Structures are given as C-alpha cells and as structure tokens.
Amino acid sequence: MDITVIIDYAPMLLQGLLHTLWLALLAGLTALGFATLLTWVTLCCRYPALKTLVRGYTQFILGLPLLVLIYVLFFILPEYGITLSSPLVGISALTLYYGPYLAQVLGAAFESIPKGQFEACSALGISRWQTFRHVALKQALPVAIPPVTGLLIGLLKDTALLSVVSVEEFMYAAKQAISQSYAPLEIYLAVALCYWLVTLAIDSAAGTLERRLSRHRQA
C-alpha cells in the first residue's frame, strides 16, 4: 500500500470527480424534469394514446440495461446522421433511463394523497395550481424524497459507465491514473472512498430535507 500514489494522482482524480458531479447534477435535473412531464401525462393528460405511449416507453426502459442505451446513443445514432458529443450522450442516456423510474416514484407519491382532498379544494373554488402547490406538493414531497434520493445516488454511481464512451468522468480518470502508476489497489481504494463520501453527503442532506418538510407538514 503506497499512499504517495494517491497523493501524486490526487489532482487528476479530483478533476474526474468534479466532472462526475457536474454530469450527475445536470443529468439529475433533466431526469427530474423529464419525470415530471411523464408523471403529468400519466395522471393528468386527457389523451389515452399519449398515456399508452408513456406506459409503453416506461416498460421498455425498465427492461433495458443502461449500457445498451449508452451504446445506442453513441454508436447507432451517428449511422442515421445524429452525432452527439460524449458528455451529451451521457446526460441524455441517464435522463432517458432514470426519467421513468423517477416518474413512477412521483406518481406513487401523488396518488397516495386522498382524492377527497382534491375534491374538497375543487368544491371551495381553489385553482388546480393552488391545490398542487399548497395541498399536493406539501404532502407528496416527504413521501417521494427517500426513493428519489436512492435513484439519484444510483444515477451518480452509474456515471461510471460513461467511461466506456470516453466521457472524462471519475472512473475514466481512475483508469488513466492506473495506466500510468500501475497501482490499481491504491487508485480504486481512493475512488471507492470518494464515492462513499459523496453518497453519504447526499443521503444526509436528503434526510435533513425530509425531516424539515415532515415537520412543516405536521405543523
């Protein structure tokens, strides 16, 4: 065990970690936006054909490995004249893959709210937007945060798959460091520790947010 190897390659690994966090942040935000759209179509859309399309897409994604989707975007789309940069392939793949998973969580959270509350708001003349903001969102968020956090942590860890299409993220930097240092034990140990610390921080922040929202809901 040679700690100096980790110190020597710390700048390279740190740069890769920052790229991973940036990719995960962008992909997480776009996946949540996509999930919100899918949830709206599933719960509120009046067009059965569109609902059927969303359900079919969701079922298809649930049975598809993420790596296959990455390969399709990176290798197959250029044959049809659509060429995306490696980072854009990564963000797109993570968004398309995690959107349906997040949509299922959001949909379940909103459906857990008793329908009588929506009927009461409608009878009182409260608009749909006010009902969503002051009634539905307050109750759905505490329910949705734990599973959403788990999915976003999974998204962060799955950025490691993007190294196969030369996205310069954390694992890509780790492979470069290993090819130069011939010290896989030290490098992979540092990578594992960094992933653990980041996921621990995300989980801790989500837990704090959930507790605050739950207290606010009870109040």
* Whole-angstrom distance, CA of residue 120 vs CA of residue 14: 53
For the 3-218 domain, the top CATH level (class) is mainly alpha
* Whole-angstrom distance, CA of residue 24 vs CA of residue 175: 19
* Per-residue pLDDT at 129: 66
Give me 194's structure tokens.
């960094």
- Other beta carbons within 10 Å of 198: 18
* Per-residue pLDDT at 217: 58
Q: Is the full-model pTM beyond 0.75?
A: yes
* Per-residue pLDDT at 36: 87
* Per-residue pLDDT at 116: 81
Mean pLDDT for back-to-back runs of 10 residues, the chain (219 residues): 87 95 96 90 83 93 93 94 92 96 90 80 74 73 89 95 91 93 92 95 90 67
In our burial notation (b when 16+ CB lie closer than 10 A, e otherwise), range 2-14 reads eeebbeebeebbe
